[in-house]
């Protein structure tokens, strides 16, 4: 059966959404759809299987979503991992309404789940400068996980000095500001079912 398509993504010659016709954005035009729903769903299903295959049977798996950006990706991803696992979240401070990083990352919510002795997968929406991960990885390592891996839906391949390379990456992303499927600009656009360039 074909994947359901978002009717608001009208097919235009450039694959973009025409100005003034997208009810989800209140009519604001997005420059183009970069990854549509079907492409995302296929890749997330593959990633779930790869992650499931990477751990020994009985491994104590904790999938940690970095809020808010990862919430849709994480929800779809865990449903594609065919093994027992627990889910928790952490919240780091964000860019706010800006489109560039301030370089400062603060932890606003600490996961309740025990990290010590568990196989932890930190799930991130997008790796841009790498600042967020470079601050969070040492913090999580201090808590003694049995292993720590990164899973990112998108990677801009800008960061050169990541303290830990992501083991799973959904897509290499263009170096543009992306929104949708959890990613926001000033809290707008998280609910778009596809990923678009602003
Ligand atoms: P980094 O610390 O520069 O790697 O940025 C990571 C965080 O910045 C991501 O988790 C996102 O919340 C946000 N971010 C980076 N690039 C984008 C983008 O293109 N669109 C929306 N959010 C982004
Ligand atoms: Mg984020």
Ligand 1 pocket test: pick from 74, 126, 158 the residue with the most ligand atoms within 8 Å of its Cβ: 126
Residue 183 Cβ inside 6 Å of ligand 1? The answer reads yes
Question: pLDDT averaged over the chain?
Answer: 87
Question: Would 32 be classed as within a structural domain?
Answer: no
Looking at the structure of the chain, the number of domains it has is: 1
pLDDT tens track for 169-193: 999 999 999 999 999 999 999 999 9
Residue 8 Cβ inside 6 Å of ligand 1? The answer reads no
Going from the Cα of 70 to the center of ligand 1, the distance in angstroms, rounded, reads 11
Query: What CATH code is carried by the domain that includes residue 58?
Result: 3.40.50.2020
pLDDT-derived band at 109 (thresholds 50, 70, 90) equals confident
Tracing tokens 């025409």 back to the chain, one arrives at 18
Question: Would 25 be classed as within a structural domain?
Answer: no
Q: Is 74 helix (H, G, I), strand (E, B) or coil?
A: helix
Question: Would 10 be classed as within a structural domain?
Answer: no
Do the beta carbons of residue 113 and residue 60 sit within 8 Å?
Answer: no
Question: Would 122 be classed as within a structural domain?
Answer: yes
Sequence-ordered list of residues with C-beta below 8 angstroms from that of 1, at least 6 positions apart, any chain: none
Q: Which helix (H) or strand (E) holds 54?
A: helix 37-54
Question: Would 75 be classed as within a structural domain?
Answer: yes
Tracing tokens 């065919």 back to the chain, one arrives at 82
Do the beta carbons of residue 153 and residue 174 sit within 8 Å?
Answer: no
Question: Would 157 be classed as within a structural domain?
Answer: yes
Do the beta carbons of residue 127 and residue 156 sit within 8 Å?
Answer: yes
Range of the structural domain that residue 170 is part of: 47-96+105-174
Residue 182 Cβ inside 6 Å of ligand 1? The answer reads no
pLDDT tens track for 60-100: 999 999 999 999 999 999 999 999 999 999 998 755 545 55
pLDDT tens track for 113-141: 899 999 999 999 999 999 889 989 998 99
What does the pLDDT read at residue 56?
96
Going from the Cα of 1 to the center of ligand 1, the distance in angstroms, rounded, reads 34
Question: Would 92 be classed as within a structural domain?
Answer: yes
- The answer, yes or no, to whether residue 54 has pLDDT greater than 90, is yes
Q: Which atom of ligand 1 is nearest to the CA of 127?
A: 4
Sequence-ordered list of residues with C-beta below 8 angstroms from that of 186, at least 6 positions apart, any chain: 96, 97
| % of the chain at pLDDT higher than 90 | 71
Ligand 1 pocket test: pick from 34, 125, 166 the residue with the most ligand atoms within 8 Å of its Cβ: 125
In the numeric block, which tokens belong to residue 2?
């074909």
| % of the chain at pLDDT higher than 70 | 83
Say how many C-beta atoms besides its own lie within 10 A of residue 154's C-beta.
25
Question: Would 34 be classed as within a structural domain?
Answer: no
């Amino acid at each position: 059966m074909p994947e359901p398509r978002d009717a608001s993504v009208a097919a235009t010659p450039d694959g973009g959404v025409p100005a003034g016709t997208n009810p989800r954005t209140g009519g604001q035009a997005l420059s183009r759809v970069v990854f549509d729903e079907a492409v995302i769903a296929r890749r997330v299903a593959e990633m779930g299987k790869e992650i499931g295959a990477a751990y020994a049977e009985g491994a104590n798996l904790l999938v940690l979503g970095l809020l808010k950006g990862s919430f849709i990706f994480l929800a779809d991803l865990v449903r594609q991992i065919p093994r027992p696992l627990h889910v928790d979240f952490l919240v780091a401070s964000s860019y706010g309404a800006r489109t560039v990083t301030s370089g400062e990352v603060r932890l606003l919510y600490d996961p309740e789940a025990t990290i010590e002795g568990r196989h932890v997968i930190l799930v991130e929406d997008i790796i841009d400068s790498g600042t967020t991960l470079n601050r969070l990885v040492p913090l999580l390592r201090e808590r003694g996980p049995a292993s720590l891996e990164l899973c990112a839906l998108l990677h801009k391949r800008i960061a050169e000095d990541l303290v830990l390379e992501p083991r799973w990456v959904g897509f290499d992303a263009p170096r543009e500001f992306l929104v949708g499927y959890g990613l926001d600009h000033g809290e707008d656009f998280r609910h778009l079912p596809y990923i678009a360039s602003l």
